[in-house]
Structure 1
Amino acid sequence: MAENTALDRRTFLYGAAATAALTMLAACSSDSGSGGQAPSQQAPTTEAETKGSETDPLPRPSSFQEAPSLAAQVEAGELPPVEERLPENPYVVPHRWWKPGKYGGNLVVPSSSSNDPAIKEYMYGHSLLRFLNDSRDIGPGLVESWESNEDATEWTLHFRKGLKWSDGHPWSTEDIMFWWEDMVLNEEHTELPPDEARSGKGTLMTMKAIDEVTLVLTFDAPAPLTDVRLAGYVNRGNGATWMEPKHYLKQFHPKYNPNVSKDWATADGEFEAKRDFSQNPECPTMTGWRLKSYQEGRQAVWERNPYYWCVDREGRQLPYIDTLTIRVVDDPEVVRLQIQEGKLDYVHGPFVGLGLGDISGFKRTEERSGMRVLLWDGGSGTGSMFFFNYDYKDARMRELFREPKFRQALSLAVNRADIQKQVYFTTGEPTTGTLSPKSIEYHVNDEGKEMYRRWRDAYVGPDPERAKALLDEIGVREGPDGKRRHPDGGDLTIRLDYPATAGAGDRTKNEHLKRDWEAIGLKVTLNPVPPESHNSQWAAGLIATQTAWEVSNAHNHLAQPAWLVPIEPQRWAPLHGQFYSLRGTPQEKEQLDLDPYERTPPRVEPDPDGPIAALWKLYDQSKVEPDEMKRHQLVWEMIKIHIEHGPFFMGTVGNTPQLVLAHRDLRNVPTREQLASGGLVNPWQHPTPAVYDPEIYFWENPEEHS
């Protein structure tokens, strides 16, 4: 999820301490206990019954219950009865590790800033569909059922009847049409249509609300991945919002209120401020908790949403916990201290810069802090990675960067076992670099498993002798000083660029790259780049390398394909990606007489006989292919191009664990063994921990955690 590895090593001295950490890693990852959950005759008990989530919707409970605080408001006439606040068929949380919980208490969670989008990763409430079983399955959300026609050009979404916003106002498809017509299609507003709103041809869908609970999406070409894309991210969070509370926001929109100022659509305008339910307590939400108070730079307090549309199997309205306190802690060192002093209740490590190197310190203070150490699979296909800018502006270096044997040689030279040991404490698996090993294309059959193995192992090394031979083949030979020279005979220096804010794990890995590449005769320098200019310089081809990211994706390669295929300007071929993103627009045919680096924005067409053109062709085919197995086969063909002409991006260690801490009194926090495939933390597209419904977390002794 976080793209920086952010492993801190000051709390962990390698050597004897590493041995202790490895023992603790094994202990943490094999902890399959229930954590002391309250017993129930209706709760799952066996290992099979407590692993993963049900894929078919659970039946509607025969009756409903609510938190005592809400029952008191009903008794006082301040709220309608719970049956009237819930939809006709509430969402029944389907996780098999669930145990019936107790109401009450407060949960203290750290955040790196007041407006960190990760805050919304704790709440899945706005999503139309949901990922289940670490993205292997798709389940209902606000949409109760859905279907498409045979060629996937028309999708019909049936929403739950009786949904309500957190202020009690009825939810309807008007709230989606408001977002679509008055924001996305409104040229004055900056809201852009999401990928799932385009057909395989790249043209926008049409949207029609049949009634208050039925929506029809129509495409001019097959759009077979629509349901997968609707399940991803956290709507109104870090993905497309897909809905806004029209009854509240229309007062700030000039179409409905002529007195609204002309700057309404800007980032600083009132409309944008009012629509952010994570900073504006007045803005209605569909999440389990609604914002109660907000203090910039300090904390935000969320209270239970009395109209939340989800219940447990026994009909108890969620969430169990009364309030959620998000405490701003922008320094990882302070986070560590607060954990060890018992001032935090639940910590999702990637959100606040914690990693495997912190385990030893947390285990030593476990008795005092009360915090259990959990490990969920990250699901990364690369770990801390590195890649060259295929579209680097310097033609002399670009020629090398585009030479497959050059990239293959540098990949083979890297001793990933050293990185695995020093940065990841022998967890994960050395890899050339793939998309997430949890992707469906690698598990659908034996051919998929073999394709993953081939890509993972293609140039994994270490094989410095083969690396030297490949460099010799392309003319990168040693000069009189023992340093390898450019094929033109001139000096050659490999500059490792990375954001100056890169985590300690990324920096350690970069030192290993420098060591291993210098061992085969290359001259290497490390170059931290100011983070505020990094992305724009990369997109313009002004930065040579990227060494502080990782590759993750959810469900399948085509739901988040930017690493597989250059379609946008931030991955390994930025100018090609920019060209692709403008296809079908008037800009596509403009400025073609200019140098690609002088165009606005900079962009370049692919060589028609080159690997990028081939990837685009296969990707365009996949977008309109309704048959799932045929889409898998197209993905495998794209992977073959990565193996033959790549690696275009290079990994180090894949699928390493991510650190999660939960107070020993906190229940229903799943262990790795209870998750369908051990977890899937890293992709933003798979919103963790929201996918595991923190609304079912509860305190064994809520009176002690109020």
Structure 2
Amino acid sequence: MLTRRTALGAIASAIIPGRLRAAEPKSALPSPETGLPDLADRLPKTPRVIDVSAMGRLPGRPGGTVRTLIGSQKDIRFMTIYGYARLVGYDESLNMHADILESFEDVGSRIFTFRIREGHKWSDGSLLTAEDFRYCWEDVWLNKQLKSEGLPRAFLVDGKMPVFEVVDPLTVRYTWDAPNPDFLPSLAAPQPLSLVLPATYLKQFHEKYQEPDQLQALVKKYRARKWTALHLIMSRQYRPENPALPALEPWINRTEPPAERFVFERNPFFHRVDKNGQQLPYIDRFILNVSSSAIIAAKAGSGESDLQMNGIDFADYSFLKDSEKRYPLKVHLWKRTQGSRLALLPNLNAADTTWRAVLRDARVRRALSLAIDRREINMAVFYGLAKESADTVLPESPLFRREFAEAWAAHDPDKANALLDEAGLAARDEDGFRMLPDGRTAQITVETAGESSLDTDVLELVTDHWRAIGIPLFIRTSQRDVFQSRALGGQIMMSLWSGIDNGVPTAEMSPHQLAPTVEDQLQWPLWGSHYASDGQVGEQPDLPEAVELVSLLTRWRRAGEHQERVRIWDAMLSLYTDQVFSIGIVNATLQPVLASTRLRNLPSTGLYGFDPTSYLGVYMPDTFWLEED
């Protein structure tokens, strides 16, 4: 069957005789059938050497296939997260290292100089050079047709973008007038800021480099609306849907969507080796089978997956553990990194003016938190294996303080009742429920996506806890994709979601999650969208404590010293937990990680989360390997 890659090469070669010639057939992803250059010609002059023994693991045997399950086609993005090839990235201890880059220099968080590995190649065998960085910056990010929404915030300091320089063919530099401490962490993120694109391949889809009639032919061929839409589709890295796009990841997608089965094959030009000189990754291929999210746990527990984290939860643990008796599987338990596994988020931007005023009263938020019996929830839902806590950082973070975890988290219904009385909710109706200042019953509607039985199990217990202080709770389930629009419209009074995403931060990681900075923060979506859009949409915060959090975040971004960042983090965590902007319940909950008994080098314990660990990413799945049957 003619692949998209082959078709593109044939078409482009035929129609582009002039200014730009498309990738030749040699650009196709090499395979054992076509033959590969010697290993020394596939690796950079200085590959990144991974000492697996120092990581407490064993050098591996190359080969084999790993099956996993995904809930939809868009979930092929998990391979980009798991593969975790980054310009710079974190290790298991969350220290930052050069990865794709040979080295980097940071001067005062203002000047960042990046050195490219000599001889480093894209997955099609073409060289990675400074031109790929220049193309990404000048021809993509600064192209108003391609990026009409402007630059991401990680590129901006006081509204100003950096000066970009090509120092030499293997060195590039980004310079700001003031510190930009967000820059390096954004490159190490699970969804990293893009700085580099395969210029040779993508120029054929760019109007600056392609003849107009030939570009239009490609637009028509791929049924795009215009050249900018075509370039976007062909250049997408985070969700790698274009098998022809050269990449730097350990495994490369070989399947064009739509499909029910995606095959990712090892990148023969990947830049890492083990200490014995064996090129990574060890595993030859991953096969991602698309399945209904509702039955992923059942399929995984029936031996249809060799490595599974997504689509399973702690509620599935007993079933999955029982599967060990019937299939060659092992279930590990990793610690989730959210500040709270589930958190109640009062919407301080609610459209109902009465409820908005009530929820903005810290006494009400504290009372609702004190009324929750976290011990009962921990024992009933998490078998006592979680940690009862406010929504804050975990002990694994150097920023952890016990008072943050304990802030308004004790079960104290008497204190809760007293706080609600002080807040003006002393009056009760004939059923004994508290009344709002306008005479309505103070019934709180909590909205949830209902994607896990944990949600309803926890909310049913909270319903009893709040009824005891005169607050009735009503549960409403809606789809995840309508959450944000409803929140922005002020239609959500309170939601149940996870707590802060990164519960294991260091002072060098941005504390933006503690301040209103993005619109999908359900406790203050209008304030968050105002910040994210530089005031174009949303509303400016008018609650003093929220304003202070934004001010502290600005100070953190301008801080040049580590200790100053520590102090700012401490102040923000103190304010956030004392104000109970999100009502945490338990954290340090456990995530099942199911694996074939043949899979080696997968840690038995680990930190599981999107940010900063990229789920499996910092544990380097390219070092995993399969033992022979």
**Amino acid corresponding to residue 286 of structure 2 in structure 1:** L
Q: Alignment RMSD, CA only?
A: 2.3
Tell me the CA shift for residue 488 of structure 1. 4.2
**Amino acid corresponding to residue 634 of structure 1 in structure 2:** I
The within-5 A match list for 1:214-613 is 214-233=171-190, 238-257=191-210, 258-259=212-213, 260-261=215-216, 269-276=229-236, 278-294=240-256, 296-333=258-295, 335-348=296-309, 351-352=310-311, 354-442=312-400, 452-481=401-430, 482-499=432-449, 501-553=450-502, 554-556=504-506, 559-571=509-521, 572-583=523-534, 588=535, 601-607=537-543, 610-613=544-547
Distance of aligned partners of 1:417 and 1:661 in 2 relative to their CA distance in 1, 3 Å threshold: same
What runs of 5+ residues in structure 2 fail to find an aligned partner?
Answer: 1-29
Distance of aligned partners of 1:424 and 1:134 in 2 relative to their CA distance in 1, 3 Å threshold: farther
Q: Is 1:120 matched with 2:88?
A: no
Q: Is the 8 A contact 2:500 2:513 kept in 1?
A: yes
Q: Deviations over 1:172-202 (max 9, x none)?
A: 1221222222221111114753343222x24
Tell me the CA shift for residue 265 of structure 1. 8.3
**Amino acid corresponding to residue 121 of structure 1 in structure 2:** I
Distance of aligned partners of 1:264 and 1:364 in 2 relative to their CA distance in 1, 3 Å threshold: closer
Q: Is the 8 A contact 1:414 1:516 kept in 2?
A: yes
State which of 154, 163, 176 in structure 1 corresponds to 2:111: 154
Q: Is the 8 A contact 2:511 2:569 kept in 1?
A: no
Tell me the CA shift for residue 671 of structure 1. 1.5
Distance of aligned partners of 1:188 and 1:84 in 2 relative to their CA distance in 1, 3 Å threshold: same
Which aligned segments of 4 or more residues in structure 1 are displaced greater than 6 angstroms? 70-73, 262-268
Q: Is the 8 A contact 2:365 2:581 kept in 1?
A: yes
2 CA distance for matches of 1:603 and 1:232? Answer: 28
Which residue is 2:590 aligned to?
Answer: 657
Q: Is 1:642 matched with 2:599?
A: no
Distance of aligned partners of 1:662 and 1:515 in 2 relative to their CA distance in 1, 3 Å threshold: same
2 CA distance for matches of 1:307 and 1:148? Answer: 28
**Amino acid corresponding to residue 569 of structure 1 in structure 2:** E
Which residue is 2:131 aligned to?
Answer: 174
2 CA distance for matches of 1:477 and 1:414? Answer: 19
**Amino acid corresponding to residue 406 of structure 1 in structure 2:** V
Which residue is 2:39 aligned to?
Answer: 82
2 CA distance for matches of 1:163 and 1:103? Answer: 21
What runs of 5+ residues in structure 1 fail to find an aligned partner?
Answer: 1-69, 443-451, 589-599, 673-678
Q: Secondary structure at the match of 2:564?
A: helix
**Amino acid corresponding to residue 497 of structure 1 in structure 2:** E
Tell me the CA shift for residue 326 of structure 1. 1.0
Which residue is 1:596 aligned to?
Answer: none
Tell me the CA shift for residue 693 of structure 1. 1.5
Q: Secondary structure at the match of 1:441?
A: coil
Q: Deviations over 1:104-158 (max 9, x none)?
A: 2111111111221223222122x111111242x1111112222222x32211111
Q: Deviations over 1:15-45 (max 9, x none)?
A: xxxxxxxxxxxxxxxxxxxxxxxxxxxxxxx
Q: Deviations over 1:207-229 (max 9, x none)?
A: 22212221111112112343333
2 CA distance for matches of 1:569 and 1:550? Answer: 15
2 CA distance for matches of 1:204 and 1:265? Answer: 30
Q: Is the 8 A contact 1:376 1:659 kept in 2?
A: yes
**Amino acid corresponding to residue 496 of structure 1 in structure 2:** V
1 CA distance for matches of 2:285 and 2:551? Answer: 51
Distance of aligned partners of 1:549 and 1:469 in 2 relative to their CA distance in 1, 3 Å threshold: same
**Amino acid corresponding to residue 79 of structure 1 in structure 2:** L
TM-score, normalised with respect to structure 2: 0.88
TM-score, normalised with respect to structure 1: 0.79
Q: Deviations over 1:68-99 (max 9, x none)?
A: xx9977xx8x3221111100111112441231
2 CA distance for matches of 1:166 and 1:228? Answer: 25
Q: Secondary structure at the match of 2:68?
A: strand
Tell me the CA shift for residue 246 of structure 1. 1.0
Q: Secondary structure at the match of 2:513?
A: coil
Q: Is the 8 A contact 1:405 1:470 kept in 2?
A: yes
Tell me the CA shift for residue 419 of structure 1. 1.6
Tell me the CA shift for residue 528 of structure 1. 1.8
2 CA distance for matches of 1:565 and 1:606? Answer: 13
Q: Is 1:668 matched with 2:601?
A: yes
**Amino acid corresponding to residue 298 of structure 2 in structure 1:** L
| Alignment coverage as a number of residue pairs | 584
Tell me the CA shift for residue 691 of structure 1. 1.6
Further displaced range: 102-111 or 557-566: 557-566
Which residue is 1:693 aligned to?
Answer: 620
